[in-house]
Structure 1
Amino acid sequence: MEGVELQCFKIISSVGTARSSYIEAIQEAKKGDFVKAEELMKEGIESFNQGHCTHGELIQEEANGNGVTASLLLIHAEDQLMSAEAFHIIANELIDSYKRITALEKK
């Protein structure tokens, strides 16, 4: 496997790891472990950025006139990228909510 297929699998793997980290971060925040939640969010961001960079390479190839053939695999990789980005936003919101709930419970 090489070329675009390999890049697609790199994207899928990286952003899948990111999404899992975001979900774990939410679970840790729910338990009240906000330090662990933040660590997991940082790990997720690092993984996401790897996938995003690989996706950027594909876009750069296209911009340079080296057409990238759209395939089901590429569409899946982009779908997973967008899904992970959405999970990041949702995780941040939920973690903030758990922090507020915890602060109110302590009053």
Structure 2
Amino acid sequence: MSEEIENQKVIMSLIIAGGNAKGASFLAIKAAKEKDFKEAELKLTEADRFLAQAHNAQTDMLTKEANGEHAQMCLLMVHAQDHVMTAITFRDLAGEIVELYKRIEDK
């Protein structure tokens, strides 16, 4: 497989994993709002799995870089990395919001 195609696959995997993580995080907030905390926790765990996939793809890229296999940087790669970082931030915030809904329900 050509290097360019391999880079495209990594880029798309980052975008997909980031989007899936953000979507699961959003569903966690929605479930907590509806007082379905079990579902909220399941969605947060699902988001974590997607973020782990993105992390693994990033680690593979970093390992290749350290071994002298430099990936060609392009706007799509920057977008993919931004997508993942946004998903991480959204996941962290979703966890806090779920906890707030739990506290409200406990009172």
CA RMSD of aligned residues (A): 1.0
CA contact (8 A) 1:19 1:44 kept: yes
- TM-aligned CA deviation for residue 82 of structure 1: 0.3
2:60 to 57, 60, 81: 57
- TM-aligned CA deviation for residue 15 of structure 1: 1.4
How many angstroms apart in 2 are the aligned matches of 1:67 and 1:54? 15
- TM-aligned CA deviation for residue 28 of structure 1: 0.3
- TM-aligned CA deviation for residue 62 of structure 1: 0.8
How many angstroms apart in 1 are the aligned matches of 2:92 and 2:47? 12
- TM-aligned CA deviation for residue 68 of structure 1: 1.1
Describe how 1:3-18 pairs up with structure 2 within 5 A.
Answer: 3-18=6-21
Post-superposition Cα deviations, 1:61-104, rounded to whole Å, max 9, x if no partner, equal 11111111111011011001100100111001100100011111
1:91 to 77, 94, 100: 94
Residue segments in structure 1 that go unaligned for 5+ positions in a row:
none
Q: State TM-score, norm by structure 1.
A: 0.93
Name the % identity: 31
Post-superposition Cα deviations, 1:22-54, rounded to whole Å, max 9, x if no partner, equal 000000001100000001111111111111101
Residue identity in the other structure for 1:100: R
State the match for 2:40 in structure 1: 37
Q: How many residues align?
A: 104
State the match for 2:31 in structure 1: 28
- TM-aligned CA deviation for residue 3 of structure 1: 1.1
Structure 1 residue runs of 4+, over 2 Å off? none
State the match for 2:103 in structure 1: 100
- TM-aligned CA deviation for residue 17 of structure 1: 0.5
CA contact (8 A) 1:4 1:58 kept: no
